[in-house]
């Protein structure tokens, strides 16, 4: 085969923007003289191991489809949570994958994902180097957690932040209506990094001071301090709202949670219940009306409320990945550099994957107040541009009109 | 005082449409030759007992404000959950309320709320009749639960249904991505009536069969049948999604819940945990990956995703209330009569409050399938028109731009 093709896959947890990056890759390939067909691998790296592909160049030759893909939540190509072994221990999956690359005429591999997916990019890059493969290996970032290093912020984060801030504002309206003292605990995703929870602060405006408190995993949670925070606030306002990360923990590193936790394949703890735990603390120690609300999976899949800034940047980062591979770059991830905050401007760059994979970026301590119960103005300035702009949603019969993903059922 | 004024209040739980009805009342008064000032009572009937009023005619003389009010969630006037005593036992609040009516030149009282609020409308109507008061007492319906009698459907329900169906579709996209067997339980509000949970069925389309099962409180929940439903479905699909009402109960009437319940002032059970309870049942009896998602308070306050049909009908029902009072009608609630389903048309009517207060309307058994695990086509036909159309949301600095409600903090 003399064709010069490429292949793209998606991995990790869903976001509202990961299909925008996929659309960017497809658009980049269509506009490139370097590549012919853009294949899609179904269910991440597993699609290559199972020889399960789509011809994306065919499917998205229709511009309307590409536009619809940009605003469809979660992964059009499906996902996986599959950790490749170290090739020194077991090179069989690598042999198979690079054989598939040969067979399909693949000259570039694009993997759209978060920290765990960048581990796969690093391992494939190392193996490619070892066997002197000319295939370019490029990571395209994606994570609502905003915890990838070497980039200003990650695709998917801005939309999740916009959803969280809007929801917080709507919950505040829901809370103001009764003239009785009440505490509302809002639990937000974020195991190790508090970026998403911090975004709740964007709901504050000329009539709304909620959330009055924000607790992030970057600061050890102190139960007694929390009780006194709430008691103090209730002396000046009826309705106290608290934003809390699912991953808050005490000084010993124990999660503040009311349910058991189990380790997943990557050794992470699966958490639930920080919100419920704080609800119980208020109930037992303060005795006012209290409820907890978990901002559920919709914070990562509510495409009906995406940030236009996020969707456009995600698309551009997909295109940038293709551009980098075509220019001979490999073993790298597309990065964003913020060049100005007001007016907000960014540059599209890249960094070596070895500096990114298996690292994580937390909220800097100096962006959290001394008391550890709120965030500081520079973090507000960092967050604000990321939620700007709305994506026009097409509705059909009263519901958002998304891409048909029935191909994901076919293996079932 | 020779003025002919009127007063409006809001009561019960929040919805996305209750301010549209308030805007309808204000607009109705502005366009009426019958009334001069439209007062607003803060925190429902308590505002009259506490002499806490706003002059809405002044505040909303600006048309832009009225438009913004229409799309602001929860209660602009605040709410209460206050049950008036029987006047035969204690007429003191009634004496005070009707004295306030005299003092303010009130000729009509509009109460926007659900079942419990209609109890207040009935009691005030009965007392007005007893003392031969000329004040017209009119109920304007509001409840996401859609359980008021004598009306086709209630303001706030269509928007909640649209939010639930859209969320269900987005959760389905979130679920499809992994090629592993999984069960997702989605818990939806609805203590005694399954209307909201039924709306999850609207998420089904040409590529999505989820939710595969729908369990409503109108049918006794059978744990063994549930386990066999899920096991059967997992033989043909990887991703099973279940929509369940918070109020499901077994044949003995015991709620299926994993937490204790307490009675509120109206004798209702405060529930949580049907979703968690089903999650545990799947975990213990089937052993596949399982999670539960609670569609939280956003189903009743997410104005960013309102149904245009709902908002327009809610506004019109506010206007109709003013029209009825001006025409001499009292002791009644505004009602909707569906005159055609395709094309969808309605008429605005009214019914005697005695036929509505303290009654509730469930999903008819014939609109639920024989197995009790899904709904039937006539219910889909009933629901579909109610979620049609989108309300243009104005965004400011990345977030929905709602009415300033800082007046609700003033008593705090």
Does B342 contact A at CB distance below 8 Å? no
Q: Tens digit of pLDDT for each residue in A9-35?
A: 999 999 999 999 999 999 999 999 999
Domain A5-156+303-359+391-409 and domain A158-301, same fold? Reply is: yes
- Kindly determine whether residue A173 and residue B404, on different chains, have CB atoms separated by under 8 Å: no
Interface of A with B in 137-166 (CB under 8 A): 162, 165-166
Q: Which of A96, A99, A104, A101 shows the shortest CA–CA distance to A1?
A: A104
Note the pLDDT of residue A276: 87
Max Cα distance, chain B (Å)? 75
For residues B259 and B246, give the distance between their C-alpha atoms in angstroms, rounded to a whole number. 12
Note the pLDDT of residue A3: 85
User: Alpha carbon of B14 to those of A162, A175, A346: distances in Å?
Assistant: 22, 9, 41
For residues B385 and B8, give the distance between their C-alpha atoms in angstroms, rounded to a whole number. 29
Residue A261 reports pLDDT greater than 90:
no
The CATH code that applies to domain B5-156+303-359+392-409 is 3.40.50.450
In this prediction, residues A189-208 reach a mean pLDDT of: 96
Contacts 24+ apart (CB under 8 A), B265-274: B265/B81, B265/B83, B266/B81, B266/B83, B266/B116, B268/B191, B269/B191, B271/B191, B271/B246, B271/B247, B272/B246, B274/B187, B274/B244, B274/B245, B274/B246, B274/B247, B274/B248
Chain B positions touching A388 (Cβ under 8 A) are 397-398
Tens digits of pLDDT across chain B (412 residues): 578 999 999 999 999 999 999 999 999 999 999 999 999 999 999 999 999 999 999 999 999 999 999 999 999 999 999 999 999 999 999 999 999 999 999 999 999 999 999 999 999 999 999 999 999 999 999 999 999 999 999 999 999 999 999 999 999 999 999 989 999 999 999 989 999 999 999 999 999 999 999 999 999 999 999 999 999 999 999 999 999 999 999 999 998 875 433 343 444 444 458 998 899 899 989 989 999 999 989 999 999 999 999 999 999 999 999 999 999 999 999 999 999 999 999 999 999 999 999 889 999 999 999 999 999 999 999 999 999 999 998 999 999 999 999 999 875 4
Strands lying side by side in the sheet with A182-188: A213-215, A239-245, A182-188, A289-294
Note the pLDDT of residue B259: 45
- Kindly determine whether residue A293 and residue B293, on different chains, have CB atoms separated by under 8 Å: no
Q: Tens digit of pLDDT for each residue in A337-365?
A: 999 999 999 999 999 999 999 889 999 99
Max Cα distance, chain A (Å)? 75
The residue ranges of DSSP E strands in B189-304, in sequence order, are: 213-215, 239-245, 262-263, 269-270, 289-294
The CATH code that applies to domain A5-156+303-359+391-409 is 3.40.50.450
Best A45, A173, A383 member to test B by mutation, with max B CBs in 10 Å, is A173
Could you state, in order of their start, the residue ranges of all structural domains in chain A?
A: 5-156+303-359+391-409, 158-301
Residue B333 in contact with residue B140, Cβ under 8 Å? yes
User: Alpha carbon of B393 to those of A238, B59, B136, B318, B403: distances in Å?
Assistant: 29, 21, 35, 21, 12
In this prediction, residues A266-284 reach a mean pLDDT of: 73
CATH architecture of the domain with residue range B159-301: 3-Layer(aba) Sandwich (3.40)
Looking at chain B, which residue has its C-alpha nearest residue A204?
B399
Note the pLDDT of residue A258: 59
For residues A392 and B173, give the distance between their C-alpha atoms in angstroms, rounded to a whole number. 19
Domain A158-301 has CATH 3.40.50.460: yes
Mean residue pLDDT across chain A: 94
The DSSP code for B21 is: H
**What is the pLDDT confidence band of residue A1, given thresholds at 50, 70 and 90?**
low
Residue A394 reports pLDDT greater than 70:
yes
Chain pair A-B, CB pairs under 8 angstroms: 186
Give the percent of chain A with pLDDT over 90: 90
Q: Spell out the alpha helix ranges (H) of A223-272.
A: 223-234
User: Which of A194-208, A258-272, A389-403, B382-396 is least confident?
Assistant: A258-272
Residue A145 appears among annotated catalytic residues: yes
Q: Which of B116, B119, B145, B374 is catalytic?
A: B145
**Structure-block tokens of residue B150:** 């004598």
């Amino acid at each position: 085969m003399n064709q010069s093709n490429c292949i793209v896959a998606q991995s990790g947890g869903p976001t509202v923007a990961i299909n925008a990056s996929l659309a960017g890759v497809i658009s980049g390939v269509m506009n490139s003289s370097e590549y012919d067909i853009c294949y899609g691998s179904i269910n991440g790296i597993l699609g290559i191991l199972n020889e399960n592909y789509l011809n994306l160049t065919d499917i998205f030759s229709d511009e309307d489809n590409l536009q619809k893909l940009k605003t469809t939540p979660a992964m059009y190509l499906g996902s996986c949570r599959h950790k490749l072994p170290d090739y020194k221990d077991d090179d069989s999956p690598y042999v198979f994958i690079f054989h598939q690359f040969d067979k399909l005429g693949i000259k570039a591999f694009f993997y759209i994902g978060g920290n765990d997916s960048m581990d796969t990019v690093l391992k494939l890059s190392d193996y490619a180097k070892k066997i002197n493969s000319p295939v370019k290996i490029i990571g395209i970032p994606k994570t609502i957690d905003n915890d990838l290093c070497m980039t200003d912020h990650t695709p998917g984060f801005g939309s999740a932040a916009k959803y969280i801030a809007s929801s917080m504002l709507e919950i505040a309206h829901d809370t103001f209506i009764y003239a009785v003292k009440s505490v509302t605990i809002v639990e937000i995703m974020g195991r190790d990094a508090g970026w998403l929870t911090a975004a709740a602060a964007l709901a504050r405006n000329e009539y709304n001071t909620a959330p009055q408190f924000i607790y992030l995993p970057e600061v050890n949670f102190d139960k007694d301090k929390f009780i006194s925070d709430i008691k103090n606030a209730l002396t000046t306002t009826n309705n106290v709202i608290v934003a809390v990360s699912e991953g808050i923990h005490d000084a010993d590193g124990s999660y503040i949670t009311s349910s058991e936790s189990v380790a997943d394949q990557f050794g992470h703890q699966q958490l639930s219940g920080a919100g419920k735990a704080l609800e119980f603390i208020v109930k037992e120690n303060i005795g006012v009306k209290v409820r907890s609300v978990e901002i559920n999976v919709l914070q990562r899949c509510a495409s009906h409320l995406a940030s236009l800034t996020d969707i456009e940047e995600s698309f551009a980062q997909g295109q940038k990945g293709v551009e980098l591979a075509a220019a001979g770059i490999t073993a790298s991830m597309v990065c964003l550099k913020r060049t100005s905050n007001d007016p907000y401007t960014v540059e599209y760059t890249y960094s070596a994957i070895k500096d990114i994979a298996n690292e994580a970026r937390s909220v800097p301590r100096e962006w959290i107040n001394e008391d550890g119960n709120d965030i500081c103005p520079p973090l507000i300035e960092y967050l604000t541009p990321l939620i700007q702009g709305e994506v026009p949603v097409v509705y059909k019969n009263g519901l958002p009109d998304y891409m048909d993903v029935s191909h994901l059922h076919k293996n079932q």
